Amino acid sequence: MEIFLPIAHMDVNLLLIVFFGAIVGFLSGLVGVGGGFLITPLLIFVGVPPLVAVGTGAAQIVGTSAGGTYAHWRLGNVDMKMGLVLLLGSWSGGALGVQIAKALEAGGNFGNTVTFLYVGLLGFVGFSMLLESINALRGNSQAQVRPAADQGGGWLARLPMQVEFPVSGLRISLVLPVAIGIGVGVLTSLMGVGGGFIMVPVMIYLLRMPTKVVVGTSLFQLLFTTTEVAILQAGVNHAVDPLLAIILILGSVFGTQWGIRLGAKLPGEQLRLILALVVVSVAVKMLYGILVKPDELYSLALTR
């Protein structure tokens, strides 16, 4: 069943988009990742212009992370002060990123940039997950990365603007979370991802936040970063397709429920292996797309 997308100006198969939403929601329910990094490449594969894929991806994450953020906030798992400091960074980064996207699009380079960012990111994340889950399946799970307790503390403590974060029980410099926030904000604008896959490890290993507040604070941060970026992508780049976003959200919200139920029954290592294979294959497909000489060298697009 084909439907016409008003902003992307193209026909897509409704069931295919629902399926994309469901698959991403399913994976996020199963293994707890956001899955924004899968939506954008899948949309690009079916021919959605890269900028619209990225802008709509950000809007989709707003819808899928709102419920979870609320649930964590109710449970008191959000370090609000840390969340706001991170947002200070990611809102600046998001605004900067949207302008970078606009400039790249005007020069015709946005598609290339997105492809390279995704091949690099998905390749790296996918292969690390693949190695980790293969190790876990072999049974040497004790070889996992352990937070380095003593190293790195020195330079962090010497940074200026040290501030107390009572909920996390930390005293650290504002410089670090703001800088990380800026980086994640830029990625949200350029890739349409929430950045949870960067934020969670950073919070655990670098900021040393207690595990209890990590997921809630990360969700809080990414919810409001994607909110800002989605508004900016609509305002600056006309790149948010409302119909596409709503179909993806509905698909993924129900996919998540399905994933959570199935995830409770399946062993964790195998689930992570499946996800790793999915991520690696998307990266390989994207790489293949730029390595093979296309049949038609030229492409046309309507411009404003």
* 188 is an interface residue for other proteins by CB under 8 A: no
Name the minimum Å distance from CB 243 to other proteins.
7
Report phi then psi at 292, rounded to 5: -95, 135
Binding residues with other proteins: total (CB under 8 A) = 56
User: Beta strands of 175-216 (E only): which ranges?
Assistant: none
CA–CA distance, 183 with 94 (Å, rounded to integer): 9
Q: Which stretch binds other proteins (CB under 8 A): 31-39, 55-63, 176-184, 274-282?
A: 55-63
Q: Which stretch binds other proteins (CB under 8 A): 78-86, 141-149, 273-281, 285-293?
A: 285-293
Q: Are 209 and 121 in contact (CB under 8 A)?
A: no
* 62 is an interface residue for other proteins by CB under 8 A: yes
Site for other proteins in 22-51 (CB under 8 A): none
The maximal CA–CA distance of the chain, rounded, in angstroms, is 60
CA–CA distance, 55 with 189 (Å, rounded to integer): 7
User: 289, 271, 232: which is closest to 51 by C-alpha?
Assistant: 232
* 296 is an interface residue for other proteins by CB under 8 A: yes
Name the minimum Å distance from CB 300 to other proteins.
5
* 141 is an interface residue for other proteins by CB under 8 A: no
Name the minimum Å distance from CB 107 to other proteins.
7
Nearer to other proteins, 148 or 300 (CB): 300
Nearer to other proteins, 111 or 210 (CB): 111
Nearer to other proteins, 79 or 241 (CB): 241
* 171 is an interface residue for other proteins by CB under 8 A: no
User: 17, 59, 38: which is closest to 238 by C-alpha?
Assistant: 59
CA–CA distance, 231 with 226 (Å, rounded to integer): 8
User: 187, 192, 186, 190: which is closest to 43 by C-alpha?
Assistant: 192
Nearer to other proteins, 148 or 297 (CB): 297
Site for other proteins in 231-270 (CB under 8 A): 231-236, 238, 240, 242-243, 245-246, 249-250, 253, 257
The one-letter amino acid at 94: G
Nearer to other proteins, 149 or 300 (CB): 300
Nearer to other proteins, 56 or 133 (CB): 56
Name the minimum Å distance from CB 89 to other proteins.
20
Q: Are 195 and 187 in contact (CB under 8 A)?
A: yes
* 78 is an interface residue for other proteins by CB under 8 A: no
Q: Are 39 and 122 in contact (CB under 8 A)?
A: no
Residue with tokens 């996800």: 275
CA–CA distance, 297 with 61 (Å, rounded to integer): 33
Token readout for 105 is 């699009």
Candidates 148, 149, 264, 302; binder of other proteins (CB under 8 A) is 302
| Element containing residue 172 per DSSP (H, E) | strand 170-173
CA–CA distance, 185 with 247 (Å, rounded to integer): 25
Site for other proteins in 100-139 (CB under 8 A): 107-109, 111-112
Q: Are 219 and 79 in contact (CB under 8 A)?
A: no
Give the binding site for other proteins (CB under 8 A): 2-4, 6-7, 9-11, 59-60, 62-68, 70-71, 107-109, 111-112, 227, 230-236, 238, 240, 242-243, 245-246, 249-250, 253, 257, 290-294, 296-304
